[in-house]
């Protein structure tokens, strides 16, 4: 997860909501340079074993990996989510990585995502977006690069294979081809992941219970990405947190009397 001070409250809730279903998983927080000590202390109360990747450490690792990849280096430096494209692959040793934004809440066991994360293939899976939110239309991107992009990929919750040196070089070539569309474009990182997913056999969206939706959720929703839309984002607290509180209350009741909380 990439997160800063502004969204730390959401990040704590989001990470707890998923990790309660993934015992043994390692949570890496890639901070953007704004997280404060009290933010991390708060987070550790919910996730004691979280691993913080300081912005300076991420910069050091990325500078080595991207030394000969100037276009990716520029994208990482100027694009808001560049660390999600690069740094997440440089920390840890798992075959696959679960990307998760701070505005995601998991309501039920994400069994399908867990199976994808444990699979030995290199397929990508993602929460299906409402449409293709890329730097250009799939048709235009295909004309420019001669390559396809995955349909409706949203990188707010996705299972992706860890990129190696060869794949970073491939990504550089793609980034060069579309760099005139704007290195700092807010959907550049997501667009590049869509290119990567399209070339890997078996890549596909997760089931409907993971889809980005407009309006309220129903009980079939496994998780929800409360994307940065003025009508959707407030529902993170109004709907999502309220639903989590109900789940916790039910769990406490099933365990017997609970001491009053202050």
For tokens 């069994």, the residue is 111
Q: How crowded is residue 248: how many other Cβ atoms within 10 Å of its Cβ? A: 12
Enumerate the H helices of the chain as residue ranges.
8-19, 37-46, 55-65, 70-78, 82-85, 111-118, 138-145, 165-178, 188-198, 235, 242-254
Give percent above pLDDT 90 in the chain: 89
Average pLDDT of the chain, as a whole number: 94
What Cα–Cα distance (Å) separates residue 82 from each residue in 62, 75, 106, 176?
A: 10, 6, 24, 15
User: 120-179, pLDDT tens digit by residue?
Assistant: 999 999 999 999 999 999 999 999 999 999 999 999 999 999 999 999 999 999 999 999
The predicted structure's pLDDT at residue 115: 97
pLDDT at 262 over 50: no
Is residue 218 over pLDDT 90?
no
Domains of the chain: 2-254 (3.90.550)
**Residue closest to 203 by CA, chosen among 240, 159, 147:** 159
Q: Determine the pLDDT at residue 219.
A: 86
Find the range with the poorest average confidence among 44-48, 187-191, 240-244, 247-251. 247-251
Q: Sorting pLDDT into bands at 50, 70 and 90, what band is 217?
A: confident
Q: How confident is the model at residue 261 (pLDDT cuts 50, 70, 90)?
A: very low
Q: What letter does residue 225 receive in the DSSP assignment?
A: E
Q: Which two tokens stand for residue 113?
A: 């995502």
């Amino acid at each position: 997860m990439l997160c800063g001070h502004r969204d730390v409250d959401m990040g704590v809730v989001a990470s707890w909501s998923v990790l309660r279903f993934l015992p043994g998983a390692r949570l890496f927080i890639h901070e953007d340079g704004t997280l404060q000590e009290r933010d991390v202390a708060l987070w550790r109360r919910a996730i004691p074993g979280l691993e913080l990747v300081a912005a300076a450490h991420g910069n050091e690792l990325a500078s080595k990996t991207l030394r000969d990849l100037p276009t990716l280096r520029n994208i990482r430096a100027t694009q808001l989510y560049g660390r999600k494209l690069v740094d997440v692959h440089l920390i840890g040793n798992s075959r696959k990585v679960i990307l998760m934004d701070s505005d995601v809440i998991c309501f039920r066991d994400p069994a399908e995502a867990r199976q994808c994360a444990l699979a030995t293939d290199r397929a990508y899976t993602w929460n299906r977006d409402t449409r293709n939110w890329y730097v250009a239309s799939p048709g235009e991107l295909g004309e420019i690069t001669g390559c396809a992009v995955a349909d409706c990929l949203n990188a707010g919750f996705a299972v992706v294979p860890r990129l190696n040196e060869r794949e970073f070089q491939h990504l550089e070539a793609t980034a060069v081809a579309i760099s005139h569309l704007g290195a700092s474009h807010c959907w550049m990182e997501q667009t590049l992941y869509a290119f990567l997913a399209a070339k890997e056999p078996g890549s596909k969206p997760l089931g409907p219970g993971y889809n980005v939706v407009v309006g309220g959720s129903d009980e079939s929703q496994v998780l929800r990405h409360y994307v940065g839309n003025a009508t959707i984002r407030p529902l993170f607290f109004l709907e999502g947190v309220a639903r989590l509180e109900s789940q916790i209350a039910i769990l406490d009741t099933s365990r017997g009397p609970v001491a009053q909380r202050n």
